Amino acid sequence: DGDIDPDDIFKGHERNYIIQKIVQGKLDIDIPNVIYQMSPTERLTILKALREKKINCNYEELVIKLTESEKKYLFGGQYYVVQKRK
């Protein structure tokens, strides 16, 4: 799996395969920098895994790339103040 191109994470792979690898924590990828390449459904799959703490990422970088509804989904509807998550 070392041949994942960060500029086109799905290149040469089934989309679902890549999403599942990310969700399983088996693909070390910078989520905030690649989320724009994902469909709304794929994005929700990733956010669900983040919410369930199956995977992790830099939330400060991620939050600015999410829609309002995605932020509500990920942070439980509370107003999200950028803070360090340990």
Burial of 6 (0-12, 13-18, 19+ CB in 10 A): exposed
What is the pTM for the complete model shown? 0.84
What average pLDDT does the chain have? Answer: 89
Which residues on adjacent β-strands are paired with residue 5?
8
Question: Mind listing the pLDDT tens digit for each residue in 18-42?
Answer: 999 999 999 989 999 999 999 999 9
Q: Do residues 32 and 9 make contact, with C-beta atoms less than 8 angstroms apart? A: no
